[in-house]
Amino acid sequence: MQTRIVPRTGEPLPCVGLGTWNAFDVASAGDRPPRAEVLRVLFEAGGRVIDSSPMYGRAEQVVGDLLRAGPHPAPFLATKVWTTGRAEGVAQMEESIRRMAAPGRIDLMQVHNLLDVDTHLATLRRWKEEGRIRYAGVTHYARSAFGALEQLVRGGQVDFVQLPYSAASREAEARLLPAAADNRVAVLVMRPFEEGGLLRLVRGRPLPGWAAEAGIATWPELFLRWILGHPAVTCPIPATSNPSHARENVRAGEGPALDPAQRRRLVSELGL
């Protein structure tokens, strides 16, 4: 898998990761083998980025248990703090580390949906200095929060920003993605398929001939390569519990991203 550089440090990061929202929130032991296979697919392709949150139910624990179950390459673990108050945030982040982090450290801790963001960023700055985390970030799913995200990105307080971005939802291109590029902030992309909406849009429709000629095999791969065509993007994190879907996703990181003309062509042909 190809890599993108984390701007603040120069660390190479594989350019397709894994989200766990809904996909890893399972209770039955019988539900775990497909998730273990998804992780295997990710690692075998050269991927390392795994994103979760205490908001995602049992996902952190399931990820941690599966990672502890067997040998694997070192993951890049990202999760979030999603509560109010300093003490509550510290307690929640410590619990996330216990649940998820096989080596005992989270790489990226993010303030989920900007909840009590000033309080938690102060803690994250201290934790970075102490080596408890490597990077600090912020996230939000709503386009209405892009202004607040941009302010934090431009303020130099964060290393990562996580945001929604897809061929159908391009609002981040106006200011937020340029702000990330200008301020050396890495970008994780959530909801790259619009929670399945993009895939439903093209269901039963053949891939464009120009995409197939470029070696692209599936619509998910095409949509992810579209996202990776923006130079500010570091890593989209599609969520899945299906190993076949995981294989389609990781293929996007093995070939070239779409160039500007191809990106415009896809948007135009799909009427987006």
How confident is the model at residue 103, as a pLDDT? 65
Tokens of 264: 């415009």
Which residues have CB under 8 Å from 29's CB, separation 6+?
none
How confident is the model at residue 102, as a pLDDT? 61
The model's pTM: 0.97
Tokens of 133: 């985390």
Identify whether the C-beta of residue 183 lies closer than 8 Å to the C-beta of residue 175: no
pLDDT tens, 223-256?
999 999 999 999 999 999 999 999 999 999 999 9
User: What residues make up the domain containing 157?
Assistant: 3-269
How confident is the model at residue 23, as a pLDDT? 97
- Domain harbouring 188, CATH code: 3.20.20.100
Please name the residue that has the structure tokens 């350019």: 15
Number of domains within the chain: 1
pLDDT tens, 52-84?
999 999 999 999 999 999 889 999 999 999 999
- pLDDT tier at 269, thresholds 50, 70, 90: very high
The string of DSSP codes covering 44-100 is: HTT--EEE--GGGTTHHHHHHHHHHTS--PPPEEEEEE-SSSHHHHHHHHHHHHHHH
